[in-house]
Structure 1
Amino acid sequence: MTSYFLIIIGAIFVNNIVLAQFLGICPFLGVSKRISTGVGMTGAVTFVMVIATIVTYFIQNLILIPFNIGFMQTISYILVIASLVQLVEIVLKKVSPPLYQALGVFLPLITTNCAILGVAIMTVSNNYNIVEAVVFSIASAVGFGIALVSFAGIREQLDLMNVPEGMKGAPIALVVAGIMALAFMGFAGMV
């Protein structure tokens, strides 16, 4: 039980996928202008990240390792993630049109989110079993969500502030992201 707790704390705070690993920066900066879009992106990323981690875990252990084709890991993982996103999009469109409308904008963005691929590769490199891999993927998604939603909240507040003209938009967003990364570095001694 202690190892699961360490995986959770490590993935959310110490090795945050966005602020420490620098994966998923594109949606972090691009979708973080409003809290509502940040929450929607977090939900979509969590769903796809967990499913992709499970599928890639089995592909790694049932196909790539037994057939000694580990060099195909990255390309096979990318194909799995892209296929899963398309499958999820098709299923949601048929089964739950309201949920598809809510997540439909975010699903294509997830295909190019390197955080999903990074978590799948990290589960293999850390030699996690399937339960640890699922816990790690959920915790990484929660860490992504915390960073994204808090960043979106700060950006909404910045829109109300009197920011110098040269710092408006991307410059102030990058400064805030850097300060957030420094703040998360304070958790480094926890695990």
Structure 2
Amino acid sequence: MEHLELFFKAIFIDNMVFATFLGMCSYLAVSKKVSTAVGLGAAVIFVMAITVPLNWLLDQYLLQEGALSWLGEEYADYDLSFLSFIMFIATIATMVQLVEIIVEKFSPSLYNSLGIFLPLIAVNCAILGGSLFMQSREIPTLGLAFNYGISSGIGWFLAILAIAAIREKIRYSNVPAPLRGLGITFIITGLMAIGFMSFGGMLTGGDEKEETTETASIEVVAPSQESSITEEVETVVDSTTINEPQIIE
């Protein structure tokens, strides 16, 4: 259940584009064609699925305070958290180079269409944001870190795929001149963000249900207390004698 909740939250509610507006440069520049958006989105999923778990391992066994205790007691007080940015970016850059080599080998047309934005994945703030959010949220296990990496990548993939499909159709629409290009794209992105954020109510409904149940239980207990108080009052009244006034004829 925890894995499923994290999966849907990372895709819809905490979407990298619509919730935190990370990776907007590639999102706007490579979303003119669906084919290009699919290629870049798949590359982002691959990179995040590998880098987030790797950076989790680095954070747990190297960077956190006391993470080096496995080397011995004399290393238990070391804190290398100040190296987080450097280590995370190094891991991301290595994986991006691997993706670039694979894409160039098996799909030269996609490699040419992505152009400079494929190597720029290394400095894509959405990729680094996934690792930093993983660290700040203190994800406890490697499995959850892998889940978060894949789901965050899928969320970014859905965002760029949706806006690319809309932008292909909107070419044939009569858009007002001042809004053509990035203007209407930002408006559509804002409307899509509202739609994605609306999924938050679906995943938080259980908490509201529990609160309603607790309130109902309190209301059930209250009448029983009132009835006991009423019985005590009637008992006191019966035990006392009330002198009725005498009628003088």
TM-score over 0.5 (shorter chain) = yes
Amino acid at match of 1:97: K
Matches within 5 A, 1:19-38: 19-38=18-37
Which region of structure 1 is more displaced relative to structure 2, 79-88 or 22-31?
Answer: 79-88
Partner of 1:160, secondary structure, is coil
| Residue in structure 2 matched with residue 97 of structure 1 by the alignment | 105
Partner of 1:190, secondary structure, is helix
| Residue in structure 2 matched with residue 168 of structure 1 by the alignment | 180
- Aligned equivalents of 1:64 and 1:71: distance in 2? 8
- Aligned equivalents of 2:149 and 2:11: distance in 1? 10
Deviation at 1:60, TM superposition (A): 1.1
- Aligned equivalents of 2:49 and 2:156: distance in 1? 13
Partner of 2:17, secondary structure, is coil
4+ runs of 1 displaced by more than 6 Å? none
Q: Is the 8 A contact 2:12 2:196 kept in 1?
A: yes
Q: Is the 8 A contact 1:14 1:190 kept in 2?
A: no
Structure with higher Rg: it is 2
Q: Is the 8 A contact 2:51 2:91 kept in 1?
A: yes
Query: Is residue 131 from structure 1 mapped to residue 139 from structure 2 by the alignment?
Result: no
Amino acid at match of 1:150: A
Deviation at 1:81, TM superposition (A): 1.0
Q: Is the 8 A contact 2:43 2:99 kept in 1?
A: no
- Aligned equivalents of 2:43 and 2:109: distance in 1? 12
- Aligned equivalents of 1:28 and 1:69: distance in 2? 33
Q: Is the 8 A contact 2:48 2:149 kept in 1?
A: yes
Deviation at 1:144, TM superposition (A): 0.8
Q: Is the 8 A contact 2:36 2:110 kept in 1?
A: no
Query: Is residue 111 from structure 1 mapped to residue 107 from structure 2 by the alignment?
Result: no
- Aligned equivalents of 2:138 and 2:196: distance in 1? 25
Deviation at 1:99, TM superposition (A): 3.5
Identify unmatched segments of 5+ residues in structure 2.
69-77, 204-249
The alignment's TM-score, normalised by the length of structure 2, stands at: 0.70
Q: Is the 8 A contact 1:89 1:100 kept in 2?
A: no
Are residues 173 and 123 of structure 1, via their aligned partners in 2, closer, same or farther at CA, if it must alter by over 3 Å?
A: same
- Aligned equivalents of 1:57 and 1:99: distance in 2? 31
RMSD across aligned C-alpha pairs, in angstroms?
Answer: 1.7
| Residue in structure 2 matched with residue 17 of structure 1 by the alignment | 16
| Residue in structure 1 matched with residue 41 of structure 2 by the alignment | 42
Amino acid at match of 2:8: I
Of 195, 202, 210, the match for 1:190: 202
